[in-house]
């Protein structure tokens, strides 16, 4: 079957991201005239990796959709079990939705690096001139776009089952928008630490769930504060701070774990 014209450039860029054909720039080359071209090549390589992982996620719709279906089913079971007790449903809604989002986001984390480790791509990433931390961050972003973003978009509809008002549903959506990327970043660290190990799924849960507790607390707390008429700035500020810290430190930690795992 002939390949589309856009597939060849994307594959070439993906090969550049994970191959060592281009020599890494020395510290003295940072101020060289060609430094901008090197940055452009790194940016193009990262974009190619992002597109590659998103295409893989689209081809594996069963794996991608399983997190969304799990999230919908878990959240929907609670109103069915509790019944039409609207006051109780409103009180339990933030915790239920956030716990379901946490568990759903972990379903696909086990394969974040496992497939690349199995086919040897991960070893090529270690030898690539593109910084490994940036490759990890790009793969984590693709994971969140394929799974976490769907949870964020569907959360206002699920909030209707708990009799939440429009403002509370919007706050829930915004808290998930800030918090679910942190869950993906924490999951990337756990996936890197357990890559290639037997029973990686259980170990991943044991590593990530305790670290994700602050995100769960402040994410659900933002919705509870909204329903109580209190300020939201503190909760959103803490979620934003955790996201910024995670964007800086999590890729570095995951990259170090991958190097240790492949030694």
SS3 107: coil
In a domain, 12, yes or no: no
pLDDT at 247: 95
Domain membership of residue 19 (yes or no) is no
pLDDT for residue 86? 87
3 is a domain residue: no
Higher pLDDT: 161 or 27? It is: 161
Looking at residue 1, what is its pLDDT?
A: 43
Q: Is residue 56 one of the residues assigned to a domain?
A: no
Within a domain: residue 25?
Answer: no
Instruction: Report yes or no: 147 and 104 within 8 Å, Cβ to Cβ.
Output: yes
Task: Place 28 in a pLDDT band, splitting at 50, 70 and 90.
Answer: very low
For residue 22, tell me if it sits in a domain. Answer: no
Q: What is the pLDDT of residues 131-181, one digit of tens each?
A: 999 999 999 999 999 988 999 999 999 999 998 889 999 999 999 999 999
Q: Structurally, how many domains does the chain consist of?
A: 1
Asked whether residue 40 is assigned to any structural domain, the reply reads: no
| Global confidence as pTM | 0.81
What integer pLDDT is reported at residue 29 of this predicted model? 41
Which residues span the domain enclosing 73? Answer: 61-261
What pLDDT sits at residue 3?
Answer: 44
| Residue 25 DSSP SS3 | coil
147 in a structural domain: yes
Residues 6+ apart with CB under 8 A from 133: 251, 252, 254, 255
Check: CB of residue 101 under 8 Å from CB of residue 67.
Answer: no
């Amino acid at each position: 079957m002939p390949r589309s014209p856009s597939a060849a450039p994307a594959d070439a860029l993906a090969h550049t991201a994970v191959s060592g054909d281009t020599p890494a720039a020395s510290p003295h080359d940072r101020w060289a005239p060609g430094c901008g071209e090197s940055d452009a090549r790194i940016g193009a390589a990262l974009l190619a990796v992002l597109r590659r992982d998103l295409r893989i996620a689209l081809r594996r719709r069963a794996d991608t959709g399983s997190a969304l279906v799990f999230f919908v089913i878990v959240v929907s079971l609670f109103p069915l079990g509790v019944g039409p007790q609207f006051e109780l449903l409103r009180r339990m809604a933030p915790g239920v939705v956030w716990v379901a989002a946490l568990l759903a986001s972990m379903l696909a984390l086990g394969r974040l690096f496992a497939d690349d480790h199995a086919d040897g791509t991960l070893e090529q990433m270690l030898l690539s001139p593109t910084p490994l931390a940036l490759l990890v961050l790009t793969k984590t972003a693709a994971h969140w776009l394929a799974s976490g973003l769907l949870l964020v978009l569907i959360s206002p509809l699920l909030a209707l089952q708990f009799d939440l008002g429009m403002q509370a549903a919007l706050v829930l959506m915004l808290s998930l928008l800030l918090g679910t990327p942190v869950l993906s970043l924490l999951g990337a660290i756990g996936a890197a630490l357990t890559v290639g190990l037997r029973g990686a799924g259980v170990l991943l849960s044991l590593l990530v769930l305790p670290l994700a507790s602050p995100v769960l607390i402040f994410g659900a707390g933002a919705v509870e504060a909204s329903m109580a008429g209190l300020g939201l700035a503190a909760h959103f500020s803490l979620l934003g701070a955790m996201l910024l810290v995670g964007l800086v430190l999590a890729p570095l930690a995951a990259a170090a774990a991958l190097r240790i795992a492949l030694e």
